[in-house]
Amino acid sequence: MKNGTACFLRNYGGAPESPNRSLFLYRHDGEKDLHNGYYVFPGGTIERGETGIDCIVREFKEETGLNIIKPRLKVLWTCDNRERLLGGRTDREDWLVQMYIADKFYGELREEVRKNAKPIWISDDSLDKIKMYPGDRELLELLGKGGIFEVRQRYQGEELVLFDWNRVD
C-alpha cells in the first residue's frame, strides 16, 4: 500500500464578480498518464521520513506554485484498487491518502509546473461539468461537512462499487 496526500483548496470570492472556486489539476499527458483527461486534487506520495503535512505542503508547491497555509486534515481515504481499471491496467496498488483542506495560500499559480498536470481554478457552478472520478465526486460532498472522516472506496473496472465513510471526530 502506498501512502499519499491530497488537498482541496478553496478560494472564497466574497463578491458576485469573484465566485467561490476550487483548485484542481487537469491531467493531459496522453495514454501514458493514468489520469489523462481527468481533474484531480493536487497531492502525491509521502516520502520516507515525511509527515502528511510536510508532504502536502511540498507537493502542493511543486504542482501549483502556491504555498498553502495551515492545511487541515479532513479525510483518511483508503483506495482499494485491486479490481480497478485505471490507465488500461487492473490490480493497481492500493493507497492510503491523507486528504487535507485549505482556504489560505500565497504565491502565484504557475501555468504548468509538470508537463502533464495543469492547475486550474474551477468555479462552484462548473464543478458538476468537469470530468472527475466518481469517488472524488463523493469526497467533494464530505469535504463540505463538519468533522474528520475515514473513507473506504473500491472500484470494479471503472465503476465505483463501494464508498463507505464514518465520521471519526
Q: Which three cell numbers stand for residue 112?
A: 504548468
If one compares 36 and 9, the residue with the highest pLDDT of the two is: 9
Q: Where are the domains of the chain?
A: 2-13+20-163
3-state secondary structure the chain: CEEEEEEEEEECCCECCECCEEEEEEECCHHHCCCCCCEECCEEECCCCCCHHHHHHHHHHHHHCCEECCCEEEEEEEEECCCECECCECCCCCEEEEEEEECCEECCCCCCCECCEEEEEEEHHHHHHCCCCHHHHHHHHHHCCCCCEEEEEEEEECEEEEEEEEECC
The model scores a pTM over 0.85? yes
The mean pLDDT of the chain is 91
Q: What pLDDT, on a 0 to 100 scale, did the predictor assign at position 114?
A: 65
Cα–Cα dist 96/77, whole Å: 6
Q: What percent of the chain has pLDDT over 90?
A: 74
| Superfamily of segment(s) 2-13+20-163 | Nucleoside Triphosphate Pyrophosphohydrolase (3.90.79.10)
pLDDT given at position 17: 62
Closest CA to 51 of 73, 27, 34, 67: 73
pLDDT at residue 14 in the model? 63
| Residue 12 clears pLDDT 90, i.e. is over it | no
- Please work out, in degrees rounded to the nearest 5, the angle formed at the alpha carbon of residue 98 by the alpha carbons of 43 and 57: 45
pLDDT for res 18: 66
- At 41-52, the pLDDT tens digits run 999 999 999 999
pLDDT reported for residue 58: 96
* Partners of 96 in beta bridges: 3, 78
- Label residue 87 by pLDDT band (50, 70, 90): confident
pLDDT in the model for residue 64: 94
Q: What is the pLDDT of residue 126?
A: 94
Q: What is the pLDDT of residues 112-131, one digit of tens each?
A: 666 788 999 999 999 999 99
